[in-house]
Structure 1
Amino acid sequence: MNWMDTELELMADASLNRSLRASRSVSGYPGYTVRGEQVLLNMSSNDYLGLSQHPAILEVMREALLTEGAGSGASRLTTGNGLAYVRLEEALADWQNCEAALVFANGYMANSGVISTLVGRGDVVFSDQLNHASMVDGIVFSRAEHARYRHNDLEHLRKLLNNNRDKRRKLIVTDAIFSMDGDRAHLQELISLKHEYGAMLMVDEAHSGGLYGGRGEGLCHELGLQNDVDIHMGTFSKSFGVYGAYICGSRTLIRWLVNKARPLIYSTALPPSIIAGIAKALVLVKEENWRRERIHLATRLFRSLLCNSGFKIGAGDSPIVPLIVGDNETALRFSSALEEEGIAAVAIRPPTVPEGTARIRFSLSAVHTDKELTHAAVRTHNIGLQLGVLCP
């Protein structure tokens, strides 16, 4: 197995080596994290609404843990499908204004499981080139043809659809908000193409659920397009501050997944405490609109501060703010310098992002104050000058 050492050395030489670093949260301060002895402003978390330490969520999780135990003990199709699961899925369907919902263990299992269940050999999946890896892997697992279109390039997608008119089933999959760029998919245009070519449409709202829509339903609802989307996917590990994922759609879709989706069938059900936490988080997401208002204000402030400093950042209005630096080594040095200044902001490198687009991926939260964001922007500006990312 010596070949692994050789490959790892090559990765290190290209500044692509990765390692696990121990971190811990700061009780009562969800906007911070600790590495070693250093307390850092956490600008790499997906805890967009700041719910991960909400007292009400922690309390219901504690009660479920004490009354129902640490684990579910079985898959959902045996004895792991507790009444709380049923109630949560009813609430999710009502929230999304869909006929039915289904909870998965996490977003990777939901995306990979659903795609590989809906299509197979003889079918084709049209996927934006910046879609999350879980979608890409789902296409691989399905054995369907993978027709990848250039990011948000609808003319390229149309060409691919034209070339695959005769395929048995056609599925278009897209993130609503792209996880590394923070920009939006062109959902209205995707829906038009879906209808024109008789395709199914699946939208991943992992990074938009909780942030958009009147009750945090997501970008599809914000734009009034929810009824034209066949498969809605979202997660509970970001805006909800907990763990898990959901699929919403027709009753027929959910019945099909229950019978065919291998990641659901062959996985142990989520612990009762997690289900309880999700259910409480759903109530807070729907009712506490001030969190959405705050994160959007924070996003506009931080984006404007970086732009005014002369940085090249990705377009969009989401709390994902990518600062493009280009080469891998500079991104790593930038991230280390930020950490020395008390800011946790991770360098993102290929293959997570395309070659030559290494970046610092800032990810904001509703619990970040204007003072903290201004401080972070000033420190980022100074480091940019030091590293030559910005011109004096």
Structure 2
Amino acid sequence: MPSGSAVWTERLEAAAAWRRTQGLWRERNTLQPELLDFAGNDYLGLKDDPRLAEAQATAVRRFGAGAGASHLVSGHLEVHEALERRLAALVGRPRALLFSTGYMANLGTLQALCDSDTLLFQDRLNHASLLDGAALTGARSRRFHHRDLDDLERLLSRAPAEAAKLVASDGVFSMDGDVADIGGLATVSARHGAWLMIDDAHGIGILGAHGDGCVGHAHGIEHVPVLVGTLGKALGTGGAFVAGSEALIEHLIQFARAYVYTTAQPPGVAAASLAALDVLAAEPERRQQLRDNIHYFRHEAALLGLPLGDSFTPIQPLVLGEGRQVMHWAARLREAGLLVGAIRPPTVPNGEARLRITLRASHPRESLDRLLEALARLYEEDAA
């Protein structure tokens, strides 16, 4: 009989071998400064803004490098309190609550709201953190077809009227770049007495009248009682928040284990996020430049015959189908000094492997042209 150590070695080796034979092995690539980054989520180009760096450094000198404890012990600092107030104002909610990551925000919120008596309905293409959060809760979970309100209506109509029901959806879908029908989801949810939870991670900062996302003020708390956003994408820093009513936030403070049992966000990161919100308010031209870049890229890609997905957000998927083809294209682009996301199952469904191209306000036109030309060459080679 193999020893315990040998059993685990065999398990790890078998898992690695299976993933390698399927062409799904993942590797970390250290970003090289000479590469043009079309893979990250720094949509407004704030990550490298010196004002954010200075705000972070100032806060570190004042508060220290870390918070030192959880929010409920001694780690909740005035910079955290200020950031929560600003985030609540951004999205038009009474309160907001900081989490260390978007993944933890979704896990913590679902775990705190749901139990085995809850009925949970999710879009099939929701982010992994929402799907994993559902599994953690023990709730009875059903997944409706992507952006299909009729399917959601069908599932909800079968649920007992007295049951606690929660509908959860991405706002902007991270692999496709398309946007949920927030108004439609709110209407269907309300008709069946369900709460609606939207993860607007990829909408905050770029969509909405003032960067308040695809939910924000346009869909108030009565339509979307639970709103999640992240700070590590368009705002260029890190962490996440949940926004909603006084009762919701107090409930999460009491029962969200991913909030209660973790060290608070480093104060320097919170200060940098406050600076990012200042830039967001003062420089709307960044959002306009991003929209211009998206329009230009899509227009030129259409002229070249590149089969982009239907997205008006910075996320521009180029679905190639096979994982090996995606990895080949990504490697060729890297050789040309261009970094794009190479996305394969299980992140996306089988047969839908893709290049996930992300655009920034800070991408100059010549960089967009360089990427377009390289993609066109690869497309022509495959067609030959």
In structure 1, what residue type is equivalent to 2:287? R
What are the equivalent positions in structure 2 for 1:1-392 lying under 5 Å apart?
Answer: 1-23=9-31, 33-34=32-33, 39-166=34-161, 168-221=163-216, 224-227=218-221, 228-386=223-381, 388=382, 391=383
SS at match of 1:77: helix
Aligned partners of 1:60 and 1:372: how far apart in 2?
A: 30
In structure 2, what residue type is equivalent to 1:335? A
In structure 2, what residue type is equivalent to 1:15? G
Contact 1:98 1:248 in 2 (8 A): yes
In structure 1, what residue type is equivalent to 2:347? T
SS at match of 2:294: helix
Q: Give the drift of 1:303.
A: 1.5
Contact 1:149 1:156 in 2 (8 A): yes
Aligned partners of 2:298 and 2:12: how far apart in 1?
A: 41
In structure 2, what residue type is equivalent to 1:346? G
Q: Give the drift of 1:165.
A: 2.8
Aligned partners of 2:363 and 2:194: how far apart in 1?
A: 41
Aligned partners of 1:203 and 1:145: how far apart in 2?
A: 19
In structure 2, what is the equivalent of residue 26 of structure 1?
A: none
1:37-57 C-alpha deviation (Å, 9 max, x unpaired): xx1110001000000011111
SS at match of 2:150: helix
Contact 1:123 1:167 in 2 (8 A): no
Runs of 4+ that moved beyond 2 A: 165-168
Contact 1:331 1:358 in 2 (8 A): yes
Q: Give the drift of 1:176.
A: 0.9
Contact 2:92 2:216 in 1 (8 A): no
Q: Give the drift of 1:167.
A: 5.8
In structure 2, what is the equivalent of residue 29 of structure 1?
A: none
Q: Give the drift of 1:248.
A: 0.8
SS at match of 2:115: coil
In structure 2, what is the equivalent of residue 30 of structure 1?
A: none
1:88-113 C-alpha deviation (Å, 9 max, x unpaired): 11111122211111111010000111
SS at match of 1:194: helix
Contact 1:313 1:321 in 2 (8 A): yes
SS at match of 1:78: helix
Q: Give the drift of 1:347.
A: 0.9
Contact 1:124 1:167 in 2 (8 A): no
1:311-335 C-alpha deviation (Å, 9 max, x unpaired): 2211120010000000010000000
Aligned partners of 1:56 and 1:6: how far apart in 2?
A: 48
Count of matched residue positions in the alignment of Structure 1 and Structure 2? 375
Aligned partners of 1:266 and 1:208: how far apart in 2?
A: 28
SS at match of 1:346: strand
Q: TM-score, normalised by structure 2?
A: 0.95
Aligned partners of 1:251 and 1:67: how far apart in 2?
A: 30
Q: Give the drift of 1:286.
A: 2.1
Aligned partners of 1:299 and 1:355: how far apart in 2?
A: 27
Contact 2:45 2:234 in 1 (8 A): yes
SS at match of 1:226: coil
SS at match of 1:147: strand
Q: Give the drift of 1:263.
A: 0.4
In structure 2, what is the equivalent of residue 28 of structure 1?
A: none
Aligned partners of 2:70 and 2:41: how far apart in 1?
A: 28
Contact 1:211 1:239 in 2 (8 A): yes
SS at match of 2:72: coil
Aligned partners of 1:290 and 1:170: how far apart in 2?
A: 40
In structure 2, what residue type is equivalent to 1:109? M
Cα gap change, 1:265/1:221 in structure 2, threshold over 3 Å: closer, same or farther?
closer
Identical aligned residues as a percent: 34
Aligned partners of 1:337 and 1:167: how far apart in 2?
A: 56
Aligned partners of 2:373 and 2:262: how far apart in 1?
A: 47
Aligned partners of 1:368 and 1:58: how far apart in 2?
A: 20
SS at match of 2:354: strand
